[in-house]
Amino acid sequence: MPKGYWVSVYRTISDPEKLAAYDKPAAAAVAAGGGRVLIRGGRAVAYDAGLAERTVLVEFDSFEQAVAVRESAAYQEALAALSDGVERDFRIVEGTD
């Protein structure tokens, strides 16, 4: 079964306090749902779109699991804390076998 991935690229972080308030409950929701954070921030070189503010990559055992965690009550609470503190491109993608 192909794995599922959260891919999130931050365009801007307008409120670092909201991002900090989001980080802990989001990490807890991901861990509770079996997700593994592979990339969070770190060094990056942006070429095409120039979006190098922050990149996060989370791996799940399946695409369905990735979607379920995104829709979970725990993650929705984390999103409420994040509110409008960032502008990002967040998507869930299915990996290859």
pLDDT tens digits along 23-79: 999 999 999 999 999 999 888 887 876 666 889 999 999 999 999 999 999 999 999
Predicted local distance difference test score (pLDDT) of residue 60: 98
- How confident is the model over 81-94, as pLDDT tens digits? 999 999 999 999 99
CATH of the domain at 16: 3.30.70.100
The reply to whether the predicted model has a pTM over 0.85 is yes
Q: Which residues, 6+ apart, have CB-to-CB distance to 90 below 8 Å?
A: 6, 7, 8
C-beta of residue 12 within 8 angstroms of C-beta of residue 86: yes
Predicted local distance difference test score (pLDDT) of residue 47: 80
State which residues form the domain around 40.
4-94
Predicted local distance difference test score (pLDDT) of residue 45: 80
Domain count, the chain: 1
